[in-house]
Amino acid sequence: MINKQVIYRRTILKQLYFEGELSCADISMLSEKSLPLAAKVINGLIDEGAVIESGYASSTGGRRPQMYSIQSKLMYIISVAMDQLVTRIAILDMHNNYLLDPLKIELSLINNPFALDNLINHIKNYIAAAQIPKGMIAGMGIGMPGFVDVRKGINHSFLKTEKGRSIVSKLEAELDIPVFIDNDSSLIALAELKFGAAKNKKNVMVINIGWGIGLGMVVNGELFRGYNGFAGEFSHIPLFTNDKMCSCGKSGCLETEASLFFILSQAINGLNNGRVSVLNNLSLEHAEESSRAIMDAAIKGDKFAIELLSDSGYNIGRGIAILIHLLNPELIVLSGRGSVGGRMWLAPIQLAINEHCIPKIAENTDLKVSSLGYDAELIGAAALVMDQFDSMVIEKKKLMETETEI
């Protein structure tokens, strides 16, 4: 039998993780439990050192309520952020602070049958270096590109496993911790929803500017993944008749005229044809460093670099115009790797929205650059674990019962 108080304790810890600090009344309201029960459980968590008193709320004219927060070192989360070329691994505490400097490794996912085994080895070594007890690890969240089926724990695009086995089951068997996976753009949107520009918003489109142009959708205040988790393939809407082959096997996709790969290719071609710029030594073999150099140059005022981001940004804006017409969001957030370009993206994207949107539909849609930036996917992967923290007990119980029946 599942202990309901154990689940409620986990619910309170989950609430405090996402909200930072709450009063007893806040916790009672959010969890839909009585105030005496909430107070009893909170006091128990304080006695154990899991929760601390963090001061009093701002005065609203009456008695100021006591506020509570989760103890930062209570647990840790293994967070993994993957794209097609680079993987980052981090360990975050309950306040989303890094325990160690994030580990960055070059790990190509394209046509790499050993990618998952390599990832597991790096994670094991990183956890060992942290020297934290296994019992203090709440779980591991992984964001990855491709068609990720969250329910089955598989990726139809990358990280292939032996037939009949999921990525999640393999990782849990190797690491002996709970593991959750999701699409990278969905986790970036989750980070924005829980901790970033989309917090307390109802309808937000989060654009993941990277090697493709991803999309995470917040609809009615919740992450929207579609029927089987494949919603948001913004990169592959057919906007152009350019006969350029996309990574999906089609031609004319948004990705072919807007991604960081496109920008880098245009930069290399321009420099080879005599364009004047501070940029030099760019290469597709060193795509990460080269794309970052382009964005840094644009921020510093390099005319050619600004032109590159402007052309790409305008094309992203054309795609966003379609989203605005279809979904009428209150906010568009530019996030992910490419968001380090900052305000350089805003003018060309807004120009495209102005040109291609019906004004009445677009007039109340704001456009912002994420404050989370390149950390968004790591934070989102951690949030994925804590979002499931209270239900882990139930799912583990169900699994044990199923195994017993078998």
Q: How far is CA 247 from CA 162, 256, 262, in A?
A: 24, 9, 12
Nearest to 333 by CA among 185, 162, 161, 204: 204
- Chain-centroid distance of CA 274 in Å reads 39
Whether the CA torsion 48, 390, 137, 78 is positive or negative: it is negative
- H-helix or E-strand spanning residue 134: none
pTM summary value: 0.92
Q: Rounded to an integer, what is the distance from CA 123 to the centroid of its chain?
A: 19
Cα 135 off chain centre by = 25
Identify the pLDDT of residue 395: 54
d(CA 334, CA 244): 25
Q: What is the pLDDT of residue 406?
A: 30
pLDDT of residue 59: 67
Q: What domains can be seen in the chain, in order of their start residue? A: 4-70 (1.10.10.10), 76-187+379-405 (3.30.420.40), 199-371 (3.30.420.40)
Rounded Cα–Cα distance for residues 31 and 7 (Å): 11
Q: Which of 364, 33, 381 is nearest to 201 (CA)?
A: 364
CB 220 within 8 A of CB 205: no
- Terminal-to-terminal C-alpha distance of the chain: 19
Report the alpha-carbon distance of residue 127 to residue 121 in Å, rounded. Answer: 10
Which residue, chain included where needed, has tokens 């089987």?
A: 228
Collect all residues with Cβ–Cβ distance below 8 Å to 285 and sequence separation of at least 6.
Answer: none
The torsion region of residue 274 among left (phi > 0), alpha (psi -120 to 50) and beta comes to left
Do 186 and 226 form a contact (C-beta atoms < 8 A)? Answer: no
Q: How far is the CA of 12 from the CAs of 8, 15, 25, 325, 404, in angstroms?
A: 6, 5, 12, 39, 31
- Structure tokens given for 27: 């916790």
Dist. CA 298–CA 341, nearest whole Å: 8
- What does 323-378 look like in DSSP terms, one character per residue? HHHHH--SEEEEESGGGGGGGGGHHHHHHHHHHHS-HHHHTT-EEEE-SSGGGHHH
CB of 246 within 8 A of CB of 256?
yes
Structural contact between residues 176 and 196, judged by C-beta atoms closer than 8 angstroms: no
- pLDDT, one tens digit for every residue, the chain (406 residues): 457 888 999 999 999 999 999 999 999 999 999 999 999 999 999 999 999 999 988 766 678 899 999 999 999 999 999 999 999 999 999 999 999 999 999 999 999 999 999 999 999 999 999 999 999 999 999 999 999 998 889 999 999 888 778 999 999 999 999 999 999 999 999 999 999 999 999 999 999 999 999 999 999 999 998 887 889 999 999 999 998 999 888 999 999 999 999 999 999 999 999 999 999 999 999 999 999 999 999 999 999 999 999 999 999 999 999 999 999 999 999 999 999 999 999 999 999 999 999 999 999 999 999 999 999 999 999 999 999 998 876 554 443 343 333 3
Give the 3-state secondary structure of residue 132: coil
Give DSSP secondary structure letters for 40-106: HHHHHHHHTTSEEEEEEPPPSSSPPPEEEEE-TTS-EEEEEEE-SSEEEEEEE-TTS-BSSPPEEEE
Distance between CA atoms of residues 342 and 325, nearest Å: 25
